[in-house]
């Protein structure tokens, strides 16, 4: 007799992030307006914003699909620049004489926080932050053993930090849920015409659904059963500019 799996729940795993440097920890938190300085979007806000884009993709919003493609491009660009910087740092450390046995430098009290990424793009971004943390550790070690000056190390890390901050802020430009579907565009109805005026034209392959992010989730059509986890509500989408995630918080419809 086949086992009844209809009552099985979703898989969950508790995941914690540990960061060892001040540079990476600042990139995680960002900076809020309460500091009296211009706010800076951090990685935790990026995860929330990118997750909101992905949830709108499930609603067959082609503009959200297009934004996932834009985020893919941004992730790839930052990854290429970070990899080049890491290669430079590793080449620098190779100058350490073999007679010096130097262990990996780690923080005795690292910053640790639970994380929920909201989607696979979030995991890619989180790995960039982790590698930035490793890069900072290598550069600080190289400075400590006089392989580079403090001034050069600050300049080096500031350049990479700029790329990480640029990534974190990128989805803040996402305008939110458009309210239209591909069926609306196919019918060229009033909603589609209004969306074109407000958000602009989309590439044909995005409208047809033939070009999507490899990390795009399955589109949930209205006829799907209520048991299927639903997308975020429109009110959640409109909160993109102000809402911040709570540490370890998972959206109600979250999943990997």
- Tell me the β-bridge partners of 112: 18
CA 71 – CA 117 distance, rounded (Å): 14
CA 175 – CA 81 distance, rounded (Å): 27
Asked whether the CA dihedral 97, 99, 100, 101 is positive or negative, the reply is: positive
The DSSP call for residue 111 is: E
Question: Six-digit token pair at 27?
Answer: 């990139």
Question: Contact at 8 Å (CB) between 61 and 177?
Answer: yes
pTM of the shown model? 0.82
Question: Six-digit token pair at 157?
Answer: 């890390």
- Quick one: pLDDT band at residue 105, thresholds 50, 70, 90? confident
Give the CA-trace dihedral at 235, 240, 246, 247, to 10 degrees.
Answer: 140
Question: Six-digit token pair at 51?
Answer: 């997750």
**pLDDT at residue 242 in the model:** 31
- Quick one: pLDDT band at residue 47, thresholds 50, 70, 90? very high
**Structure confidence by residue, pLDDT tens digits, 130-163:** 999 999 999 999 999 999 999 999 999 999 999 9
**Structure confidence by residue, pLDDT tens digits, 154-203:** 999 999 999 999 999 999 999 999 999 999 999 999 999 999 999 999 99
Q: Checking phi first, is residue 200 left (phi over 0); if not, alpha (psi -120 to 50) or beta?
A: left
Of residues 17 and 225, more confidently modeled: 17
232 pLDDT above the threshold of 50: no
| Burial classification of residue 146, based on how many CB atoms lie within 10 Å of its CB (0-12 exposed, 13-18 middle, 19 or more buried) | exposed
CA 207 – CA 217 distance, rounded (Å): 16
- Tell me the β-bridge partners of 17: 113
First to last CA, the chain: 31
CA 139 – CA 137 distance, rounded (Å): 6
Average pLDDT taken over every residue of the chain: 86
**pLDDT at residue 1 in the model:** 55
Question: Six-digit token pair at 24?
Answer: 């990476």
Map residue 99 onto helix, strand or coil: coil
Domain residue extents for the chain:
16-237
13 pLDDT above the threshold of 60: yes
Number of alpha helices (DSSP H) and beta strands (DSSP E) in the chain? 9, 2
């Amino acid at each position: 007799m086949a086992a009844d799996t209809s009552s099985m729940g979703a898989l969950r795993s508790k995941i914690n992030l540990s960061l060892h440097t001040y540079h990476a920890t600042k990139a995680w938190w960002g900076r809020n307006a309460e500091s009296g300085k211009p706010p800076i979007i951090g990685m935790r806000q990026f995860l929330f914003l990118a997750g909101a884009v992905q949830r709108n993709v499930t609603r067959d919003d082609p503009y959200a699909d297009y934004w996932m493609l834009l985020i893919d491009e941004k992730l790839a660009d930052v990854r290429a620049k970070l990899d080049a910087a890491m290669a430079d740092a590793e080449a620098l450390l190779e100058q350490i004489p073999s007679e010096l046995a130097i262990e990996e430098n780690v923080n005795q009290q690292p910053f640790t926080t639970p994380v929920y990424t909201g989607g696979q793009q979030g995991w890619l971004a989180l790995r960039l932050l982790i590698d930035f943390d490793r890069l900072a550790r290598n550069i600080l070690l190289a400075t400590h053993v006089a392989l580079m000056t403090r001034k050069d190390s600050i300049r080096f890390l500031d350049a990479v930090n700029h790329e990480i901050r640029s990534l974190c802020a990128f989805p803040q430009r996402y305008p939110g849920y458009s309210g239209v579907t591909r069926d609306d565009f196919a019918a060229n109805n009033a909603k589609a015409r209004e969306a074109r005026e407000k958000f602009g034209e989309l590439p044909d392959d995005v409208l047809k659904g033939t070009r999507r992010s490899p990390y795009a989730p399955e589109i949930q059509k209205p006829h799907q059963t209520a048991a299927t986890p639903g997308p975020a509500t429109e009110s959640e989408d409109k909160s993109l500019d102000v809402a911040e995630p709570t540490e370890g918080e998972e959206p109600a419809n979250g999943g990997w």
